[in-house]
Amino acid sequence: MNEGKLLAFAATACLFVAGCCCSLDIGTLLSEGDEGEPAEGEVGVDLGVAVYPEKTPESGATKYAWRDRRLEPPTYRAGYALGEGEQRDVDAAHRELAQRLKYQDAGNGAFKWVPPPGCDASMQCILESLAERSKPDIDPLAARFKARIEGAKMNTLDAVELLTSFVQTIPYEIPKERPFGLMPPALVASSKKGDCDSKALLLHMLLDSIGIDSVLLNSNAHRHAMLGVAVPAQGEKIRYQGREYAFVETTAKNAPVGWISKEMLKPNDWVVVPVRIRSPEKAPKNEAATGKAQDPPKPKPTKRR
């Protein structure tokens, strides 16, 4: 079945299989080359604590400590505190979206939903809605990384490495109770857990904040998601709209930019899912995920001369 027929079938049947249950052993990937978190006294770069909303106490921040041997220095720390009320609001927005799209859990990682006009089985509109809602929450975290990248005068590839290694350090966990098998990016960062597509979406947002082009990549055969990043890196790439995007694996610690397991290329059915990152106040009113359309503006009367 070709891609067009597959998307049409999924949209008609309103059935989709979610979850990053790829054919590889994710646990094995995660453990390869893992030295564990840096010790508390280990010398490194402290990016500080990002909070949202502004008056959220830093005392309850989720702490991160990780290494990236491709960078100098290799050790980094950061904190992220998301207010309890905001966590509830992000969660409520996710479940409200699921209700609007008539989401139903079908068991074993499958679910039913009703794609609105402008949306298809790639779930692009769902990913964009989650990113849009989480953007104010993620912006303070992105600002911490941006300050480091600019202060250290990192080149593009090192900047991608820094952000990628941060997301790779987030423990892998399938959000079984979450609509669409996804966790909103803000909750991935605050709870320090997520699966392949949830983590890929978070990294996509962080890269967008520093002006680096990336796209989500999805494989139905492997039930896995990765990220494609438009940087001049070695390794495997996928071509989309005239640009080459290096594969980025967010679920395997220490996996370099451009790396993808050979098993993941058999079959090579990777599909590009471009996800726009927009601020809530700038999003158009005919958002596809809502299924609502704004009436076109009425023409203004012209004066006859």
The per-residue pLDDT string of the chain (305 residues; one tens digit each, 9 = 90 and over) reads: 344 433 433 333 356 666 565 545 554 554 555 678 898 889 999 999 999 999 999 999 999 999 999 999 999 999 999 999 999 999 999 999 999 999 999 988 899 999 999 898 899 999 999 999 999 999 999 999 999 999 999 999 999 999 999 999 999 999 989 999 999 999 999 999 999 999 999 999 999 999 999 999 999 999 999 999 999 999 999 999 999 999 999 999 999 999 999 999 999 999 999 999 998 876 555 444 433 333 333 444 444 43
250, 200 Cβ separation under 8 angstroms? yes
Give pLDDT, residue 32. Answer: 54
Residue pointed to by tokens 């009425």? 298
88, 98 Cβ separation under 8 angstroms? no
CA–CA dist 50, 28 (Å, integer): 31
Give pLDDT, residue 289. Answer: 45
Give residue limits of the domains in the chain: 3-277
Give pLDDT, residue 172. Answer: 96
Give pLDDT, residue 158. Answer: 97
Helix or strand holding residue 227 (H, E): strand 224-229
Give pLDDT, residue 12. Answer: 37
Q: Quick check: pTM over 0.85?
A: yes
215, 53 Cβ separation under 8 angstroms? no
Give pLDDT, residue 281. Answer: 76
Give pLDDT, residue 28. Answer: 52
160, 154 Cβ separation under 8 angstroms? no
Give pLDDT, residue 271. Answer: 96
CA–CA dist 158, 160 (Å, integer): 5
pLDDT tens sequence across 265-296: 999 999 999 999 998 876 555 444 433 333 33
Q: Are strands 271-273 and 214-219 parallel, antiparallel or unpaired?
A: antiparallel
CA–CA dist 210, 142 (Å, integer): 8
* Phi, then psi, of 143 in degrees rounded to 5: -65, -35
Q: Cα 68 to the chain's mean position, in Å?
A: 20
Mapped onto helix, strand or coil, the DSSP state of residue 253 is coil
